[in-house]
A and B are shown apart, each in its own frame.
Chain A
């Protein structure tokens, strides 16, 4: 069974930069896994942030960026704002199925 692993939790101060990574149990994550990233706040549906590794949606704030880093997909928040406190999930494509990451709770203190 394929497992996609993220940091369980990260704490950051306003204005700082934080990076969330997304690792696959099958090996290095490449563009062919088409990484997507989502933000979810309590009681709300997920909101799409990044698609196919690096691409932003029209509504994605400029401070969010996606990349590949050391064999993992990565989501970087540069200049974190209090409203960025949320759960973040990556999603990877594996042939005939998709697998979500385990989720990262970002706390802004």
Chain B
């Protein structure tokens, strides 16, 4: 059974840092792209970042570029999101998602349960 379990959320002050984790199981983690998506309270989904299967390629939404860093440890089957210089507008539930990419397809399938990050003094 495919499982993605997010953790690491919590309350942090503006300007602070937090590292989110997403532990994967039930599939060959190193074969898939992984993404982070966030959702502010009562708002819509927002794409945040992606990393390719071996961790060598990453891209970010403009709103987090230069502040967030996505990475992965394929030996530990874990995806990370290092969040620095946090702002109030980063307050959201953060989801990890598994993605398959081929020349013809982009397939978002499994999602984690989400972890809540609250940025407030």
Contacts and interface: CB of A to CB of B under 8 A. Distances in A.
What is the interface residue range for chain B against chain A?
Answer: 20 to 34
Interface string B41-59: 0001111001000000001
17 contacts: A36-B107, A38-B45, A45-B114, A46-B37, A46-B45, A46-B111, A48-B107, A48-B109, A48-B110, A51-B106, A55-B105, A97-B59, A97-B60, A98-B35, A98-B50, A103-B44, A103-B45
B61 A97 contact: yes
Given A45-B114, A97-B61, A36 B45 contact: no
A91 B99 CA distance: 13
Contacts of A91: 45, 47, 108
Interface in A80-109: 87, 89, 91, 93, 96-103
Contacts of A98: 35, 47, 50
A45 B107 contact: no
A78 interface: no
Interface residues of A, number: 25
A36 B47 CA distance: 13
A41 interface: no
Nearest to B59: A96
B47 A97 contact: yes
B95 interface: yes
Contacts of A55: 105, 107
Most buried by B among A93, A96, A98, A103: A98
Given A52-B105, A97-B59, A45 B47 contact: no
A73 to B, nearest CB: 13
A57 B109 contact: yes
Nearest to B63: A1
B4 to A, nearest CB: 9
